[in-house]
Chains A and B, each alone.
Chain A
């Protein structure tokens, strides 16, 4: 157990190292930072001065070392647009994105799990078939277009919900949150629904497949034979056995929700990290781009690491494999 833990940690550290190398080489060798960083109106002498000041005259390996040094200290340089440390600009936006992703996850679970359970228990019913067709649509519909149609329907035609921004926020733990005010919730609803669409379909299908697998098992038949009530069989015996894959997918997909919030945030003008990175790519705000990418790399590596550990703890087969 300890050996596999240490091995996983070394792997995770190596992945992060490899990604710093890829991002660094990508930004500094493929894209020319001089063109991006320096005002083209400067004359030759001023240019040289700025290059020296930014350390771009140093050999590449020493630039990389100072990049790593900065990374360790959380220093990615100042954003060109906001004139403040890049990491600070991103972290400021983190709560908004987290809030959106969490809400979307809750919606996906609350809607997807019961519907999937239903469709798995009664696969022959027409309503189950409708649910499954709907889930195919949820996979196929381009998220951003659905987002626009939500705006069209709920904001423009019906005028029920606002379509832009976070609305009124209230402070909790020193950061503003939208879900604490009714105005904030009304702003949160459309983007969260939009972001949840894909994950709802995923959880729904996963649950259905799981139910159909579990329902065939002997212990369910035995429970039936014993005369247990249907609700007890579903809630205790079936649901419990479903939880492992569902919880794993929730863990895995949370990271991808944060990544996909890029699209939803851009549509609804939600002031989170995703909107920031798109703006930064369009404005060539390099420190913010690098900081965001590195943060995401670390986030995903950590997430995968945690899931791997959970697997080892939950599933004895994985544990044995590690020993062999």
Chain B
């Protein structure tokens, strides 16, 4: 029911990819991908974010995790002010005298790692479950899909809260919570696509050649189901980053010593009412750029990979 409704919104529309095999030519696809200005913006934004996250130790003016480099005299400085030693704080400092810019660069790392790791693991688990369900059919399929339906009838944040209430707080548990909350989406898509592919001649041919089942799954079924899964995985990275930030903001996630973007925003919450906007504002902008870039890329990926739109 969910998927049916989501289809018409045009936002989460990967299921419609299931109609035909994906286009094979990579070169024109890339050109077509970048021909949209929004996709170009998204790609540039995402590349910048990943670049900053990878090279944070080289780029950042300060190591925000190294307490030796923090000076409490520099706490709560406005953007553009200078430290006691004359080093500029471009985006100001937080309550512990931590440079916001450096905090964002390191926070991006935590956020991206959590987002990508959880989306990838959920993709692997969900795709495996979905493909197995479609390929084997029968009781396994019914059972898996019931579980998927059950999970998708609860909002993600509720599932995550339930899991965190059981496991307790912490980054690892947040990752586990996101994986458990998100795998079902992949499973449903993978099964939907695989059900169509399963009926095609090449699978039948593979069966006639007595190729073992796991090989058919991995070499023949999986590659042909990959397009919609890639699109979902892209969008899910953004969702996972947002969810992690939300959970961290609620005090259930990342540790204080290695703050993610959500934690940085949360740190600024208490200073907000006294007008010290920059502690929450700038990490939020970074989060926004990350999520919007990923969504733009995912949106375009869906258009390009959708054979319906191919001319």
Mark A residues whose CB is within 8 Å of B: 15, 18, 23, 26-27, 30-31, 136-137, 139-145, 148-149, 151-152, 155-157, 163, 202, 205-206, 209-210, 213, 245, 248-249, 252, 255-256, 259-260, 262-263, 266-267, 277-278, 281-282, 289, 293, 296-297, 300-301, 304, 307-308, 311
Contact = CB atoms under 8 A, between A and B. Distances in A.
Q: How large is the interface on B (under 10, 10 to 19, 20 to 34, 35 or more residues)?
A: 35 or more
Contacts of A256: 155
Nearest to A163: B273
Given A148-B269, A149-B284, A263 B275 contact: no
A156 B251 CA distance: 24
Contact of B5 (A31, A248, A278, A308): A248
Contacts of B9: 202, 205-206, 209
A296 B288 CA distance: 30
Contacts, number: 133
Contacts of B153: 300-301, 304
Nearest to A280: B165
B272 A142 contact: no
Contacts of A15: 150
In the A-B complex, the 9 residue pairs with the smallest Cβ-Cβ separation, listed nearest first, are A26-B166, A145-B284, A256-B155, A259-B155, A259-B158, A205-B9, A209-B8, A140-B292, A206-B9
B167 interface: yes
Contacts of B67: none
A263 B250 contact: yes
A139 B11 contact: yes
Contacts of B150: 15, 18
Contacts of A206: 5, 8-9
B238 interface: yes
Contacts of A143: 246
Given A140-B238, A148-B272, A209-B9, A30 B166 contact: yes
B76 to A, nearest CB: 15
Interface string B258-281: 000010010011001101010011
